Structure 1
C-alpha cells in the first residue's frame, strides 16, 4: 500500500491503474452481503474502464457516503472538491465491468476541517448524494469505545482492484481478513515513516502473517469489525507487509464529524 501522498501521483496513470489503494490476498464478495460498500467513479478523469472507479467509500446514511479526503483532492479528482463535476457513487455493483446497481451523482463534498495532507491525519470526506439509496443498506459507524476497536478483533477491508501489489487490477469486489492492532503497536511500526501514527484520527489493522491488505485503488474503502465501520483505507507502506500494518481513518472520528453535521452515526 502506498502512502496517501505517494498514491496521489497514481492519479495521473491510465484508468486501468487508477489512484490509491486495493485488496491483496482477499476473496471475491458480493455487495448483496455488504451493501454499504460503494465505489467512487469519475469517467471524465479515469475513462470508461472499470466504470471509472478510483476509490472506495461507505454508505452511512441514505444520502451520505464517507471516504478518504485524499480521494477528493485536486491531484486525484482532477478538480477542486467544491465542484464535484461528474463524481459518482456506484452502489450495488460487484463487477465494475457491468452496469448493475445504481450510479448516483455527488451533490456536495465536505472535507474534514482537521485533515492534514502532510501527515494523513484526519483523512476524511463526507459526500452528499443527489438521490437517496436504501436506508437499510447503510452501515453504522463505530463510536469511541466500540468493541470493534479491541486489539485482535477480526475485521474485513473491502475494495476493487490491485490484488498483487504490482498493478494487477480486477473488476470484482473483494474483501480481505485482517485483525485490529493496538495503537502502540502501530505507532512503533510507523515511528520513522511518513507523518507517523496519530491515534486520535487513525487506527491500524493487519493479517498476523501479512499477505492480506488494502493496496492501490482501495483508498476510502470500509474496514468493518464487530458489525460496524471502524475505519476507512487511508495509507500505509507496501501491500501486505507484516512489518507495516494498514492505516485507516478512525471510525470514531467519522462518527464525531457526522454528529457535528447532524447526520447518522452510531
Structure 2
C-alpha cells in the first residue's frame, strides 16, 4: 500500500522535514556545482577565471550556452566565456584558455610564420596534435592551462582535459559510473583510490545523502569487475517517513512560479527519487487585481497596485517610529532605497541598523495608523554604495540595500519588483523616454498611498536643466498636477516591460529603473523635475545582495 503525501508548498516541505535536504544536490540553487563536488556562485561561471578547483566552470561544455548572451562590449573567449571588452591582445590573459592572447590574434608576421612552421602532418610519440593539425611537445605544453594550439578553435589542453585526457585513461581500467553516481573507492589499508582501476579488490561507499546500489566489494581484472553490475551511488530517500512508493506533490507558494508544471516525485525501490526537485522561482513585477478602484486624477491607489513599495521608519527620540523614506522590495528580505535615507552626514557613515523598521503593504503613511495588511520587519544589515559621500559629492551613488531580519510572506499586497540590467553601452540610453510611475504617500489629509505618472530623460538631457547632476543619475518629469514630495525619496521609478519570465508568451511585468534621490524640504514638492539614481550603475552590488538573499532562504 502506497503512502500518498501531499504538501501544500515547497516552503512547507522544507519546514516539515529538514532531513530531506541531503536528498538533493549539495549546492544551492543559486550556485554552480563543480565536477569535483565543490560549490561556487553562478555569477562566477564562464567569467574567464577558473573558480572551481578543477576548472570545470570554464569549459566549452559549460560555457557553450553563454555564446548567445555574450554581446558587445564584452569579449568572448573561444570556449564561450564572456570577459571584459578590452581583453583582446592587452597583454593579460583574461580567458581561462588564453584565447584572447593567441599568436594568430595578437602576433606579428614573425609570430604567424613561426606558427605556420609548427603545422605538421604527423605527430611523434612525445607530441600531441591540436584540432588544426599542429604538433606540440607534451612535456612543455600539455595541461599548462594555456591555449598553446593558438588556432582559434578553443582547444585548451587544460579546459578540455575531461574529453581529451581523462576518458582514455578511464578506459584502461574497470568501468566506473560518472558524476554523483560514482562511489568512493578504497583499497587496502583504507587507501582512497582514483581511476583507472586496473587490478585488485576495491571497497565501494557513498558520500552523505547517497546509498550504494550493488555489492560493497568487487575485484577488478582485465577491465572487468567480479560482480555482475557496477556498484553506483543513488540519492538516499529510504527514511521511515518516506518509504519506497511515497509520492510528493509540489505546489509553489504565493509569489513563486515555475515555467512549466511541477510533476510529482516518487521514491523508487532502490532508495532514490524518480526525478529531481524543480525549484519554484520568485515571481516579480506583477500586481493583483485591485479590490477597489482608484481615481483618474487624484492617483490615490489600492496597495495591490504597487505591492513592492515599502515604507522606511526610524526610531525617533526614543518614543516612537517616524516615517523616513520609501523603498522597493527586491526579494522577500531585501529592500532597495536611497543612501541618504540611512546616512549620517555628521559621522559620514550609516545610522545603526537597529534604529530602522520596514513596513510593507502600508496604505497610510503614519506609523500608528494601520490596516490589517500592514506587515512590519526590523532591519538586520545596511549596505551603502561604496562611493557615497552624501552632500559633499552631490549625492553621487545615492543607493542603499537593507537586509531584513525576517523575510516577508509574499501575498497579493506584498510582491517584489523585477530588475534587469543592460549592457555597458546601454546603461544610460535604457533610462531615456521611459513612461513609468513612482509611489509615495500624500502630504495632505490622511497621507494615503498614491502613485505619480512620469516620463524619464537620460542624463545628457537632464544636464540641460541641472548642470551639476552626477553621472549615475537620470531625471523624470512628472505628468499632470502630480509632484514628487518630501518622503518620496528612496521610492522606485518603475515601468511596464514585456518579458517571457515564467511564460512562453510575452507578459507585461513591472521593472525598476531608478531610485528617487533628491529630497525637497519639509512640506515642499519638487516642481516637475525629479532626480533618480540609475540602478544600472550598481549591477554587481544588487546582484550579489539578491544572490545572498536567495542562498540564505534556500
The TM-score, its normalising length taken from structure 1, stands at: 0.73
Q: Equivalent residues in 2 for 1:67-216 (5 A)?
A: 67-74=337-344, 81=350, 83-96=352-365, 97-100=369-372, 101-117=374-390, 118=392, 119-134=394-409, 137-144=415-422, 145=426, 149-162=430-443, 168=444, 170-191=446-467, 196-199=468-471, 201-207=472-478, 211-216=481-486
Change (3 A) 1:64 1:126: same
CA contact under 8 A between 1:154 and 1:179: conserved in structure 2?
A: yes
SS of residue paired to 2:316: helix
Distance in 1 (CA, whole Å) between partners of 2:431 and 2:356 is 35
Q: Which stretches in structure 2 are left out of the alignment for 5+ residues?
A: 1-296, 497-509
CA contact under 8 A between 1:161 and 1:217: conserved in structure 2?
A: no
CA contact under 8 A between 2:429 and 2:458: conserved in structure 1?
A: no
Distance in 2 (CA, whole Å) between partners of 1:252 and 1:205 is 16
| 1:32 maps to 2:311 | no
CA contact under 8 A between 2:358 and 2:379: conserved in structure 1?
A: yes
What is residue 230 of structure 1 aligned with on the other side? 513
| 1:44 maps to 2:320 | no
Q: How many pairs does the alignment contain? A: 225
Q: 1:240 Cα deviation (Å)? A: 4.5
Change (3 A) 1:87 1:177: same
SS of residue paired to 1:190: coil
Change (3 A) 1:240 1:81: closer
CA contact under 8 A between 2:494 and 2:511: conserved in structure 1?
A: yes
CA contact under 8 A between 2:487 and 2:519: conserved in structure 1?
A: no
Distance in 2 (CA, whole Å) between partners of 1:148 and 1:34 is 25
Question: Structure 1 stretch 56-65 or stretch 67-76: which is displaced more?
Answer: 67-76
1:132-186: CA deviation from partner (whole Å, max 9, x where unpaired): 1245711112423489935332110111243xxxxx4742111111101132220
SS of residue paired to 1:85: helix
CA contact under 8 A between 1:214 and 1:233: conserved in structure 2?
A: no
Distance in 2 (CA, whole Å) between partners of 1:147 and 1:122 is 15
CA contact under 8 A between 1:61 and 1:263: conserved in structure 2?
A: no
Distance in 2 (CA, whole Å) between partners of 1:54 and 1:85 is 14
Q: 1:263 Cα deviation (Å)? A: 4.8
Distance in 1 (CA, whole Å) between partners of 2:429 and 2:452 is 16
The TM-score, its normalising length taken from structure 2, stands at: 0.37
1:192-242: CA deviation from partner (whole Å, max 9, x where unpaired): xxxx2223x21211136x743322111101110122110111016773534
What is residue 259 of structure 1 aligned with on the other side? 543
CA contact under 8 A between 1:157 and 1:213: conserved in structure 2?
A: no
- Among candidates 220, 239, 247, match of residue 525 of structure 2: 239
CA contact under 8 A between 1:62 and 1:135: conserved in structure 2?
A: yes
CA contact under 8 A between 2:356 and 2:378: conserved in structure 1?
A: yes
Q: Equivalent residues in 2 for 1:13-32 (5 A)?
A: 27-32=299-304
Distance in 2 (CA, whole Å) between partners of 1:75 and 1:156 is 30
Q: 1:45 Cα deviation (Å)? A: 4.8
